[in-house]
Amino acid sequence: MISSRIDSFRSVAKNFKVVFLDSYGVLKNHKGLIDGVAETISFLRGEGIVFRVLTNDASRSQEQQVEVFDRLGLKDLDVEEVITSGMLAKQFLSHKIKDGKIAYLGTENSADYILQSGLKHIAVRDIDLENIEDISAFVFLDDEGFDWNYDIDTTVNFLRRKTVPVIVANSDKYYPVNKNDVSVATGGIAKLCESMLSKKFIHFGKPDTQMFNYAYEHINRDKQQYDKDDILMVGDTLSTDILGGNKFGLKTMLVLSGNTRSDNAELWINSSGIIPDYICDSILK
C-alpha cells in the first residue's frame, strides 16, 4: 500500500459523506486558527458533508471547545460537532466508579468537567500517602496544573501502594508548541508511569477505538445512514489520528500542518508502518 500525495484536500473530501477532523494541527496550532480553516468548514457544509471534530484534548468540555473556536474565528460550530476524549472518560467514570474519591493529575478546570460523577475528587498535591483508603480511581487529565517533580512522584508512589482503575483522558504523548518543538502531553506522562509500574491503564482518545465508535454511532443515531466507507479521517499525527482511523477501517489522510512535517513524513511512515491513504499539506484548499 502506497500513500497518494495530493494537492487538494477538497478534491478528496467531496468523495466522502463524512469527514472526521483532528483539532490541533489540522484546525488550529500554537498561533491560533490556521488560515483558511473557516472557509474549508464552509465548503464542507455547502457540500452537505457531515463533519465531526475528534480531539484528545481533555481539558475542556464540548461547550468550552466551541467557545475557544468561536474566539479564534471559527464561528457557528455546533456542540454536537465536537467529540472529546474527556467526555468519554467522564462517561466511564460516571458508570463505573460509584463510591470513594477520584484522584487526578491536571487542572481544576478539567477536573470540574470530567469528574462530575457525584463523587468527590482530590488533586494529587493533596493526597496523603498514609491515608489513601478512600481513593477509588485515578485520572490523568492534563499536562498542566501540577508540580512536575513532586506530583508525578506522588502519582507513582500512590499507584505503587494501591491498585485502582487508572484512566488516561488524553492519549497524546506530545503536542507541538511551535514549528520545530514539542511539549510532553498527558499521554506521555501516563506512558512513563505505566512503564515504571509495569501496569496498563485505561486510555481514552485516539488511537483507541472508543472515540471512533462514539463518533460513528453518533452520526448514525437516527438511522443507519453512513458506512465506514463513507468516512474520511483527517489528522496530523500518525500514531493517533491515522493509526486510529486505520484500525477502525476508515480511509485516512495525513496533513502536514501539525506534528508531521513534509521533510520527515516519509521517514516516519516507513519507520512506523502506519500508512495513510492520502497525504496533503493541509485542509485549506
Cβ(228)–Cβ(248) under 8 Å? yes
pLDDT for the residue numbered 177 = 76
pLDDT tens across 127-183, in order?
999 999 999 999 998 888 889 999 999 999 999 999 999 999 888 888 777 777 888
| 4-56+207-280 has CATH 3.30.470.10 classification | no
pLDDT for the residue numbered 276 = 97
- Domain spans of the chain? 4-56+207-280, 87-203
Topology at the third CATH level for domain 87-203? Rossmann fold (3.40.50)
What band does 93 get if pLDDT is binned at 50, 70 and 90? confident
> When comparing pLDDT for 185 and 232, which is higher?
232
- Distance of CA 134 to CAs 80, 98, 122, 156, Å? 36, 12, 11, 18
Helix (H, G, I), strand (E, B) or coil at 51: strand
pLDDT tens across 144-155, in order?
888 999 999 999
pLDDT for the residue numbered 172 = 85
CATH fold match for the domains 4-56+207-280 and 87-203: yes
Q: What is the pTM of this model?
A: 0.88
Cis peptide before 207 (omega within 30 of 0): yes
Cβ(230)–Cβ(251) under 8 Å? no
Contacts of residues 267-276 at CB distance under 8 Å and 24 or more positions apart, as own/partner, are: 268/238, 269/3, 269/238, 272/238, 272/239, 274/238, 274/239, 274/242, 274/243, 274/246, 275/1, 275/2, 275/3, 275/242, 275/246, 276/3, 276/238, 276/242, 276/246, 276/252
Going 6 to 19 to 254 to 69, the CA torsion angle's sign is positive
Cβ(137)–Cβ(102) under 8 Å? yes
Cβ(255)–Cβ(26) under 8 Å? yes
pLDDT tens across 17-75, in order?
999 999 999 999 888 999 899 999 999 999 999 999 999 988 788 898 999 999 999 99
The packing angle between helices 186-197 and 148-161, to 10°, is: 40
The residue type found at 142 is D
Name the percent of the chain lying above pLDDT 90.
Answer: 66
Angle (CA) 85-87-90 rounded to 5° is: 110
pLDDT tens across 7-19, in order?
999 999 999 999 9
Q: Does the pLDDT value for residue 224 go beyond 80?
A: no
pLDDT for the residue numbered 1 = 62
Cβ(50)–Cβ(222) under 8 Å? no
